[in-house]
Amino acid sequence: MSEYKRLHPISAVASFLKQLKELIIPFVLLFVLNSRGEKGGFWDYMPLISMGAVLLIVLAAGVIKWLRFTYRLEEGELRIEYGLFVKKKRYIPFDRIQSLNFSEGIIHRPFGLVKVKVETAGSSNPGESEAELTAILKEEALELERIIYREKKKGQLPDTAEESEIHEESSHKEGNVVFKMSAKDIWVLAATSGGIGVILSGVAVFFSQFSEFIPYETVYDEIMVFVKSGLLIIAVLSFVLLLAAWIFSVGWTFVVYGDFKIRMNDDNIVITRGLLEKKQVTVPLNRVQGIRVVENPVRQLFGYCTVVIENAGGSALEKDSSTIKLIPVVKKKRVSELLAKIFPDYELAEDFQRLPKRALRKYIIRAVDWVIIPVVILSIMFWPLGLFSLLLAIPFAILGFFQYRAGGWRISGNQLSLQYRGVLKHTAYLKKSRVQSLDSTVSWFQSKRDLSSISATLKSGQTGYTSEVKDLEVEDAAEIYSWYSHE
């Protein structure tokens, strides 16, 4: 394919809507301010006229961008030309393209379109795609993927085997489903996540943006009427509000994670999800740096966990992050079976070497340290009743105990497994070849008890992701360090 192609015209509309989204708050404020008082002449309507002019300029810019954006495949490269005033060219060699990630938004699906994000190795902006085709036909996107896949395979296989491999790859996309989230799984995900907090935070942000225009005095008077009517009514209304927010949170989780599937396509993991906006992201196996099994206290209580992977490139599923939720929620007893199909070279054993008993006191003291200053301040300010604030130390001491219980390590061949807890419990599985750095540290207090800490860093995003286990035996830390050392 050497002829230049344009995006679908709907991309101009998408660009317009994206800009409009950023302008909506200034427009609302202008509209509210302009609605006050009587209109006496032309200048009184200037804010509305300005808003209309800005909308026309934004729409025209979207149309021009669409007209100037072209792409084609030529000489082993994806060639893109774009720009509003200055024409730019971007050539991306096929061998640098790691994956093409598809998403179908509300404006794409009625026209059979998809948005394509081109993910490359060594992107100049970690967390961002190298290029983006905002709206092309789904058939064209699949053809684009097929051609790039074929060209990357060329030379690795004989011609007949190559065609057979491409054919097989096509069938894998439809049939080789490794994991599919059921309605029960999505329900557990919604019920055990912090979605309701996000909803209430959004309401708070809305009120903060328009606080000047909310008649708080009138609202206060109405609330006082309710108070006089009885606290029961207030309690019922509060419960109804929280229930509505929770139901909305659950419904939104079903929209985001509906039809969640993981498929294996040759040496790639293909993740699809979403009801309104359908997303597909492809993660090459050779870009996966490590695996973590994460358990929050509520999910752990019911035997559920989340499986995440650290990706050397950006993530289209997790914005501004290279950590991808491979399996958002699953029964922990199923993890070994599922991951054996995706990562057969990883060993997910549970027989960890645990921390020495003398490390328990350090974990409890370290956790309680967080409340020492607030307890001292409260005790002084509200003496003697402030002494009851000492009770705050109890939950933190319990957290320290569970952090100690979670700590552990294991070496198996070229794999290091670390287990540790903050509030969430993490079990990290790391291959020696993927560990960017491994540090062994001993503080003054640790040296008195022959303890040491180990931290291993993987390539993930701009700063990497570090797993750390504190207060191991000095001999154990030395063994881990020796395992990693090239000496």
Tens digits of residue pLDDT in 46-91: 767 777 788 888 888 888 888 888 888 888 888 888 887 888 888 8
Residue with tokens 């491994």: 438
* Under 8 Å between Cβ of 291 and 346: yes
Residues 123, 116: Cα–Cα separation, whole Å = 16
Specify which residues 180 forms β-bridges with. 261
Residue with tokens 């419960």: 239
- Percent of the residues in the chain that have a pLDDT greater than 90, as a whole number: 29
pTM, rounded to two decimals: 0.75
Residue-wise pLDDT tens digits, 173-229: 454 889 999 999 999 888 887 655 445 544 554 454 444 445 555 655 655 665 555
Specify which residues 397 forms β-bridges with. none
Residues 315, 149: Cα–Cα separation, whole Å = 20
**Over residues 354-359, mean pLDDT:** 94
Residues 126, 313: Cα–Cα separation, whole Å = 7
Confidence label for 171 from pLDDT (cuts 50, 70 and 90): very low
Mean pLDDT over each residue of the chain, to the nearest integer? 81
**Over residues 227-240, mean pLDDT:** 67
Confidence label for 168 from pLDDT (cuts 50, 70 and 90): very low
Task: Using DSSP, state whether 418 is helix, strand or coil.
Answer: strand
Task: Using DSSP, state whether 311 is helix, strand or coil.
Answer: strand
Cα separations (Å) of 455 from 16, 68, 191, 395? 47, 50, 33, 27
Residue 12: the pLDDT is 85
The answer, yes or no, to whether residue 159 has pLDDT greater than 70, is no
**Over residues 18-33, mean pLDDT:** 72
Residue 56: the pLDDT is 87
